[in-house]
Structure 1
Amino acid sequence: MTFLGVDVGTFESKGVLVDAEGTVLAQSRRRHQISTPRPGHVEQDPELDWWADVVVIARELMAHPAARDLRGVGLSAIGPCVVATDEELTPLRPAILYGVDTRAARQIDALVGALGEQEIQRRCGNALTSQSAGPKIAWLRDEEPDVWSRARWFMTSQSWLVAKLTGEVVIDHATAGYFHPLYDLQAARWDVTGCEDVVTADRLPRLGWTTDLAGTVHARAAAETGIPEGTPVIVGTTDAPAEAVAAGVVDDGSLMAMYGSSGYFIRVGSTPITDPSLWAAPFVLEGTYVLAAGTATTGTATRWVADALGITDERDEVTFARLLELAEGSPAGARGVLVLPHFAGERTPFQDPHSRGAIVGLGLEHTPADIARAVLEGIGHATAEAVGTYARCGVPVSRVVAIGGATKNPVVMSTVSTLTGLTQDVAATPGASHGDAFLAALGTGAVELADGRRWWSVDRSVPPDPASAERLRADHRAFVDLYRALAPWNRERDMSTRGDGA
């Protein structure tokens, strides 16, 4: 028996065909882009960027002989996004992406004013931030009322993809938990009290757990994708929980550090813990919960500096090899150059959509190597500041498992381990799509959770580096001071630039 897992990421979609032992039989991937039509606006076309990827990847993997014994499909995608569709599931506008899209600052303020911070924290276990989907629905109401009024459904990325496959409009609790202030964390249900002018519950997908069966592939989707009609499809989840499952982060106290286009961190627990500094949500299985954190830029910052330094190649592996080689020509601390990598605002712990990037300490003596090193260390500083929030909130972390593209970057990884004092185990896994396949196998009853130990393995470990600790810790104090010094100016500049209609 085999299982299909497909993950739609910010810049790339990946798919795997896996057997019941976790062996990858075939892989496929396809790239796409984001759109930034205005400052703070980050969007993608669901049909052209998401569904087109799923169709191509599915067709390639269904051509494998083992696909004849396909027993289930699992999907994950970036989120929480906001996808407004009509009754026929046709998107009415480009999808509004997750926390990197910061357009709804005014709506966040309005909802906090209407509901109160205490009520939002009580209901959702979270403060409202750019990661919250509710204010983005409110933005549509305020700024694109025609789209808002025509919308039959407000869903997210993987829920729309599942609906395209099955016709069923359903969302997992793990993602719904980020539709604050519309979801009650303790009751595990929609609660739009006080937000009825933003959205009513009947315009939101029905709720399910990630491994529940959403439905089966219908005839039209089968014709497009090559997935046999009638194949079971689970509810699915966003990419980060799927990555956590792929990395084997399912035990109480374990933390997944996902180094993707942005940074995302999930600490798994068996009881719901809430803290205003972190995001609380259900996990993929009933009775499990997460405390999450995130940074706004990781891979996007490395891509930016590679472009800025003119070392980009059409092959990503060449681009990032060049960047690393350049950065390693500068010592730890980048000879005094410090970078605040807030190119799209920042999430944990600052929750500041107005923050922007900065490069300080430059002198005529500095070289491109120093700038490259400073950007990579800046990513490490931002990551360490986010991960350090758990300790500051008194939440223990028993183990860190790292996953994603930047795990191949020793500068970023060593900086994070050194600043946090935590050894990171780098997972040997194809990523979220592998987690999707496991969740599909789990949801269809082909495996049990304990069988995951056959699916999960560690490639290597990255311990703290005592030799660079003193330098990096001093720089980290300056990093936090730099943010605090620039924050008022950035907020004033950003608000005056956006105006009321942003």
Structure 2
Amino acid sequence: MAYTLGIDIGTYETKGVLVDFEGRVVAQAARGHQMLVPRPGWAEHRPEEDWWGDFVYVCQTLLRDSGVDPHDIKAVACSAIGPCMLPVDAQGTPLMNGVLYGVDGRAEAEVRELTDRIGEDVLIDRCGNVLTSQSVGPKILWLKRHRPELYAQTAHVLTSTSFLVQRLTGEVVIDHYTAANFAPLYDVERLDWIDDLADDILPLQKLPRLMWSGEIAGEITQAAAAATGLAPGTPVTAGTIDAAAEAFSVGVDQPGDMMMMYGSTIFIILRAAERVADPRIWYAPWLFEGEHASMAGLATSGTLTHWFRDQIARDLDPSTAFPALAEEAAASPPGANGLLQLPYFSGERTPIHDVHAKGVLFGLNLTHTRGDMYRALIEGIAYGTRHVTETFAEIGQSPQRLLAVGGGTQNRLWLQATSDITGIDQVVCEKATGASYGDAFLAALAIGAVDRSDILTWNPATETVSAQSHDVYRKSYTLFRRLYEQTKDIAVEIS
């Protein structure tokens, strides 16, 4: 038998799968971790414990539970949350916690300064994206200014996937899809690092070597083999961000295909026929040379449901709280009896790019129940999602096919409310394993064991969630948009 291994590091959980060349999952494993919020607007992970420690644990668990001979694992691929910013020294040792993706807004001042200096038009033309809390370049400049002693020790700036690949192979690499988030240090036309827009951020030799996600970055070293149980010499791909691997896991491979990932955040990827330039969304080269992707993401989605469970539903058993809350919310009608929720608990990413945006629960009276509040929370996330899908439509990029994936697809209320509020049907595939499954397929693809089209047989579509019309949603969405506009100045003042 022959297998590939895929492991993904998420915001709150690491998941791994062993898959044979027919797409059958022979073993799964997972391990949870926390997102650290040392101060409002910051978000971090511990790279040794949460990234490498989880990878080792999940890998060892998969090998133990499956009984698979490590030599029968023909390739390994990993993905992780991103884009992250992690400075490491010459030995590859982390110098601080990993600074997370767009939920971390610590570099707001650097975003403003670089934008003013370079100009939005130049950034869109050269880098494909304006600078936001998602951008890594400003966070490196923040490191230089606020942690100069660590900056001085920095040999490389990695992202989460780069860190894992370096631990496994000794190679310092990054895929182009992830690198596009390093604006203003990456040119989307040249597909290369640049410093002519801002030469004061970081010497380019301290950035990883650029590769495509389907390429082999290196092989498992003796040290990595001793830690993980994998066989020395096993090929390892360059890897990618979790959302891209998740999109590939459900067959997002043709122009017009769109993934909606229900995870800690809602993340959307559209396989575009050509490069799309709009400051409200993100652009990146896709996983393969000559292909394109447009992306969007909310800042808090599944994270918000966890917050509600932990703060508002402490009386419920955490292991069964979500089904119980869904049942309570199902007793509340569409529109949540007049409640509106702005889901901006960590600011907001696309399309408003507002780090000061705040969460709001509006319209409360003494008749409202916890079920109303939870339904309003779910609908608030769905209204934010509609704001994104409307933005795609405005730039002529409406999806031809929308595929839903991620743990949140198990929340039928959330899934149905999203279709109803956006007016878009969603396709659900047989396996909702997610990014780790996409990693396993990309590993098989990298060694020539499968063709790209084989993902359709690995993970066939099994269900369509059809949009249902509700008049209340049309009115409530308009009020949702107005509520943000009428509170955003207050949000800045209380930041």
Q: TM-score range by the shorter chain?
A: over 0.9
**Corresponding residue of 2:179:** 176
Q: Is the 8 A contact 2:15 2:29 kept in 1?
A: yes
Aligned counterpart for 1:273 among listed residues 269, 272, 276: 276
2:486 corresponds to 1:485: yes
Measure the CA separation in 1 of the matches of 2:434 and 2:264: 14
1:60 partner SS:
helix
Deviation at 1:270, TM superposition (A): 3.5
CA distance in 2, matches of 1:314, 1:57: 26
1:24-103 pair list within 5 angstroms: 24-63=25-64, 64-67=66-69, 68-103=71-106
Pairing 1:412-423 to 2, within 5 Å after superposition: 412-423=414-425
- Equivalent residue letter for 2:375: R
Q: Deviations over 1:4-48 (max 9, x none)?
A: 000000000000000111110111100000110011110010001
How far residue 221 of structure 1 moved from its aligned partner, in angstroms, is 0.6
Change (3 A) 1:65 1:310: closer
Q: Is the 8 A contact 1:415 1:472 kept in 2?
A: no
Q: Is the 8 A contact 1:259 1:405 kept in 2?
A: yes
**What is the alpha-carbon distance in structure 2 between the residues aligned to residue 417 and residue 436 of structure 1?**
28
- Structure 1 Cα separation of the partners of residues 122 and 198 of structure 2: 12
1:347 & 1:434 partners in 2: Cα distance?
27
In the alignment, which residue of structure 2 is the partner of 1:498? none
2:157 pairs with one of 154, 159, 179: 154
Change (3 A) 1:127 1:359: same
User: 2:340 is matched with which residue?
Assistant: 338
Runs of 5+ consecutive residues of structure 2 not aligned to the other structure: none
Per-residue CA distance 1:240-298 (angstroms, 9 max, x = gap):
00000101111111100001001100000232222111100011111111000000111
Q: What is the match of residue 15 of structure 2?
A: 14
User: Per the alignment, in what secondary structure is the counterpart of residue 87 of structure 2?
Assistant: strand
Letter in 2 for 1:398: Q
TM-score, with length taken from structure 2: 0.97
Q: CA deviation at 1:401?
A: 0.1
CA deviation after TM superposition for structure 1 residue 303, in Å = 1.0
Partners of 1:355 and 1:60 in 2: how far apart?
41
The one-character-per-residue Cα deviations of 1:52-84 (angstroms, maximum 9, x if unpaired) are 110011112223333441100000000000011
CA distance in 1, matches of 2:287, 2:191: 13
Q: What's 2:460 paired with?
A: 457
1:376-391 matches, cutoff 5 A = 376-391=378-393
TM-score, length of structure 1 as denominator length: 0.96
Aligned 1:301-450 pairs, distance under 5 A: 301-311=304-314, 315-316=318-319, 318-429=320-431, 430-450=433-453
Cα deviations by residue, 1:280-319 (Å, 9 ceiling, x for unpaired): 0011111111000000111111111122222465654x12
Q: Given the alignment, which residue of 259, 262, 268 partners 1:259?
A: 262
- Kept in 2, the 8 Å contact 1:306–1:312? The answer is no
Q: Give the letter aligned to residue 195 of structure 1.
A: A
Does the aligned pair in 1 maintain the 2:383–2:422 contact within 8 Å? Answer: no
Post-superposition CA distance 1:415-453 (Å, at most 9, x none)? 221222210012222110000000001111111112222
**Aligned equivalents of 2:46, 2:389: Cα separation in 1:** 32
1:244–1:266: 8 Å Cα contact kept in structure 2?
yes
SS in 1 for 2:181: coil
Cα distance between partner residues in 1 of 2:118 and 2:473: 42
Matched, 1:124 2:130: no
Deviation sequence 1:160-180 (CA, Å, 0-9, x none): 100000000000000001111
Cα displacement string for residues 444-472 of structure 1 (whole angstroms, at most 9, x for unaligned residues): 11111122222122232111112xx2101
Moved more, 111-120 or 292-301: 111-120
Q: Is the Cα contact below 8 Å between 1:270 and 1:287 reproduced in 2? A: no
Whether the aligned pair in 1 keeps the contact of 2:184 and 2:197 (CA below 8 Å) is no
Alpha-carbon contact 1:17-1:61 (below 8 Å) kept: yes
What CA RMSD, in Å, does the superposition of the two structures yield over aligned residues? Answer: 1.2
Structure-2 residue corresponding to 1:236 = 239
**Is the 8 Å Cα contact of residues 377 and 411 (structure 1) preserved in structure 2?**
no
- Higher mean alpha-carbon deviation, 180-189 vs 223-232, is at 180-189
Give the whole-Å Cα distance in 2 for the aligned partners of 1:248 and 1:312.
40
Letter in 1 for 2:323: A
Identity of aligned residues (%): 43
Stretches of structure 1 lacking an aligned partner (at least 5 in a row): 495-502
Quick check: 1:311–1:322 contact (8 Å CA) kept in 2?
Answer: no
Q: Secondary structure at the match of 1:178?
A: helix
